[in-house]
Amino acid sequence: MEVHDLGLVYDSVFVTRILPLVSGRLYTFLGNCLRKGSKWTECKAGLLDEYFPYFDREGLIRDLIVFNFQSDGQQLHAHIDQVFRAAGFLEYDASEQQLVDRIVINFHPSVLAHAPFFDQQRSLKELYRVVGLIVETFSVAKQRQRG
């Protein structure tokens, strides 16, 4: 999807390139999108309706946040971006604040140790600000250990 978002090729070329990578019903579904000359947004909407009902989307986001939660050493920004990209693609029906809350609750314990920094963030921008402070704190602590 990230390659598609770069806009380097037309929708039909993109779909044609990924068709050999899929099989069965999905192959037929994508083939129908091509035959109809549908744009990616139309195909994506049909794909989500057909293969990702809401409870599956909920499960995928929950698994990403809860079971594959940010691990020790993983960049916080990368984890947050991954969750928001997945939620955006899946058209996950949650507010920005709800996603932020779920992400914060499931941070690695080494990050949660800095809980005083975590006032109630209401947006992704506020979460990034706090994450920047925490990353800076980790960096300073590492420098002090070296010195």
How far apart, in Å, are the Cα atoms of 3 and each of 20, 48, 103? 16, 19, 26
Of 14-18, 84-88, 109-113, 139-143, the least confident: 14-18
Q: Has residue 108 got a pLDDT over 80?
A: no
More confident residue, 109 or 73: 109
Residue range 2-58, pLDDT digits in tens: 545 655 556 666 666 666 666 678 778 878 888 888 888 888 888 888 888 888 888
For the chain, what is the mean pLDDT? 78
Q: How many residues does the chain have?
A: 147
The CA distance from 97 to 99, in Å, is 5
Average the pLDDT over 102-124 and give the result: 77
The CA distance from 85 to 82, in Å, is 5
- Contact assessment for residue 25 and residue 35, using Cβ atoms and an 8 Å cutoff: no
Average the pLDDT over 79-105 and give the result: 88
pLDDT score recorded for residue 96 = 92
Residue range 50-90, pLDDT digits in tens: 888 888 888 888 888 877 655 555 678 888 888 898 898 88
- Would you tell me the crossing angle of helices 40-51 and 11-18 to the nearest 10 degrees? 40
Could you tell me the pTM of the whole model? 0.68
Q: Which residues of 29-57 are buried (b: 16+ CB within 10 A; e: fewer)?
A: ebeebeeeebebeebbebebeeebeeeeb
Q: Has residue 129 got a pLDDT over 70?
A: yes
pLDDT score recorded for residue 118 = 65
